[in-house]
Structure 1
Amino acid sequence: MPIITLTTDFGEKDHFAGAVKGAIYNELDEIRIVDISHSVSPFHSTEAAYIIQNAYKSFPKGTIHIIGIDSELNPENKHIAVLLDGHYFVCANNGIISMLTNEINPEKIVEINIHDRVETNFPTLDVFVKVACHIARGGTLEVIGKVITEVKELTGLNPVVNQQQNQIIGNVIYIDNYGNVVSNITKSIFETIGKGRTFKIMARTASFTKVHTHYSDAINFEIPKGKREEDGKKLALWNASNYLELAIYKSNPTTVGSAASLFGLEYRDTISVNFES
């Protein structure tokens, strides 16, 4: 029996996440359910896309991922099921899945059409659970939807490169629990445009001329602990997903502050990289 994962903006206070799990167990009592996150910011499709992109590969092929973000059905927000990279994704066609399809071509996409058989005002509970359980039993996508070839694209996922090829203009796409700021600038595009040139990263008043691989790379451990700059040190690094991240070493948003608070950065704010001409 495959795993079903849940990624939602339901939070922990309300009954929604528990009700979805109960509905799944009611259909498949031996299924395994894994919570990826229920703390996505409300209706924040880009945040959800970043989380699912970086979580799904840790699961075995055949896992079914329910994404309960902005899932109310309307003429501009249809429901889809996608087979991509050996995994199934059940969600609204609101752009969430486009962060994955930017990198990997989907094997199959269907627009779910079982709504006339399911009465609901809670699609994640009723529609997405039905679809996920159908797939878990070995059912095909064509039974629950009509094949389509494209998904809606999220805007602002990809950075812009200027005509002179000496500047990348990116944006903040995610702020993690530590207040670290993740941009949409990948290591791949950075190296392709940079070609080994010196550079300066700018984000409001903060600037960086070096990108680290690990957080602790920013610390000079040859200097005695009492004398070196450590807590509160700013740094840029390639995070585990190879996105450019701005961080504060051992940050704590409630005490020393975080990259987001200290640099004054929020979702969609600009982060640019200027290369030496």
Structure 2
Amino acid sequence: MPIITLTTDFGVKDHFVAAVKGAIYSELPQATIVDISHEISPFHITEAAYIIQNAYKSFPKGSIHIIGIDSELTPENKHIAVKLDEHYFICANNGLISMIASAFKPEKIVEINIHDKINTNFPVLDVFVAVACHIARGGTLEVVGKVIEAVKMIKGITPIVNVGDKQIVGNVVYIDNYGNLITNITRKQFEEVGKGRQFTIKARSAVFKNIYDRYSDAINFTVEKSKREEDGKKLAIFNSSGYLELAIYKSNPKTVGGAASLFGLSYRDTVSITFE
């Protein structure tokens, strides 16, 4: 039976996540449910897209991903089920799904039309669960919706390359649990534009001259521990997803602070790379 994943902005204080899981188990007692995240910032589809984009490919083909972000049904926010990259996604047609894949080429899209059969004001619990369980049993998308050709598209924030390939101007698109700042500048773009040139990264008053592959690469372990710069050291890396990340080594936003607070940066703030 396919894995069913859950990504929501419900948090974990309330009963919502447990209710959704209970509804799935009531229909499919043998189901395997995996939480991707329930700590998405409320209604933040860009943040959700970044997390799902970097998680779903690790799951087996055929997995079913329920996305409970901005999911209230309205005339401008219909519900859809999408087969993409041999995975199934159930969500609102709010643009989120278009940001999950760099090249959005869905195999099939349906606009869910079973609402008249379900009395609900909690669509993730009722409608999305019903669709997910139908797919998990081997059901086709056409049974739960009408085929449509396109979804709402959001390109998101795209880095700008200035004339002469002298500068890339990007933005913060996500702040992780450590307060690290993830930008929309990729390693691929950096290498294509930079062509091996020296560079300077600027984010407000923070300046970086090097980009590391791992956090620990920024630390000089040949220096005696009591004398070397370690905890609190600022650094730039290409993270495991291939995006430029600005971080503080072994940061803790609840005590010493993270890159976001220490650099004074938040979502959509500018990060630039200037090449010499």
Query: Which TM-score applies when normalising by structure 2?
Result: 0.96
Whichever residue aligns with residue 233 of structure 2, its letter is K
Following TM superposition, by how much is the alpha carbon of 1:23 offset from its aligned partner in structure 2, in angstroms? 0.9
**Conservation of the 8 A alpha-carbon contact between 2:53 and 2:101:** no
Partner of 1:54: 54
Q: Distance in 1 between matches of 2:73 and 2:257?
A: 40
Following TM superposition, by how much is the alpha carbon of 1:135 offset from its aligned partner in structure 2, in angstroms? 0.5
Whichever residue aligns with residue 205 of structure 2, its letter is T
Partner of 2:106: 106
Partner of 2:196: 196
Q: Distance in 1 between matches of 2:88 and 2:129?
A: 13
> Which runs of 5 or more residues in structure 2 are unaligned?
none
> Which runs of 5 or more residues in structure 1 are unaligned?
none
Following TM superposition, by how much is the alpha carbon of 1:56 offset from its aligned partner in structure 2, in angstroms? 0.8
- Confirm whether residue 31 of structure 1 aligns to residue 46 of structure 2: no
| Cα deviations by residue, 1:134-186 (Å, 9 ceiling, x for unpaired) | 10011111221222232223353321222332221111111011000001111
Q: For residue 227 of structure 2, give the secondary structure of its aligned residue in structure 1.
A: coil
| Cα deviations by residue, 1:75-127 (Å, 9 ceiling, x for unpaired) | 22111111111111111111211222323522112221222222211111111
Partner of 1:42: 42
Q: Distance in 1 between matches of 2:162 and 2:106?
A: 30
Whichever residue aligns with residue 4 of structure 2, its letter is I
Partner of 2:268: 268
Whichever residue aligns with residue 46 of structure 2, its letter is T
- Confirm whether residue 97 of structure 1 aligns to residue 110 of structure 2: no
Q: For residue 100 of structure 2, give the secondary structure of its aligned residue in structure 1.
A: helix
Q: Distance in 1 between matches of 2:80 and 2:135?
A: 13
Q: Percent identity?
A: 72
Whichever residue aligns with residue 145 of structure 1, its letter is G
**Conservation of the 8 A alpha-carbon contact between 2:80 and 2:91:** yes
| Cα deviations by residue, 1:29-53 (Å, 9 ceiling, x for unpaired) | 1111111111111111111111111
Partner of 2:133: 133
Number of aligned residues: 276
**Conservation of the 8 A alpha-carbon contact between 1:156 and 1:171:** no
**Conservation of the 8 A alpha-carbon contact between 2:99 and 2:156:** no
Change (3 A) 1:161 1:150: farther
**Conservation of the 8 A alpha-carbon contact between 1:183 and 1:271:** yes
Partner of 2:167: 167
Instruction: Give me the CA root mean square deviation.
Output: 1.3
Greater displacement, 165-174 / 222-231 = 165-174
Q: Distance in 2 between matches of 1:213 and 1:72?
A: 41
- Confirm whether residue 75 of structure 1 aligns to residue 75 of structure 2: yes
Q: For residue 54 of structure 2, give the secondary structure of its aligned residue in structure 1.
A: helix
**Conservation of the 8 A alpha-carbon contact between 1:113 and 1:145:** yes
Structure 1 segment 218-237 matched on structure 2, within 5 A = 218-237=218-237
- Confirm whether residue 251 of structure 1 aligns to residue 228 of structure 2: no
Q: Distance in 2 between matches of 1:81 and 1:131?
A: 8
Partner of 1:185: 185
Partner of 1:85: 85
Change (3 A) 1:193 1:150: farther
Q: Distance in 1 between matches of 2:190 and 2:52?
A: 23
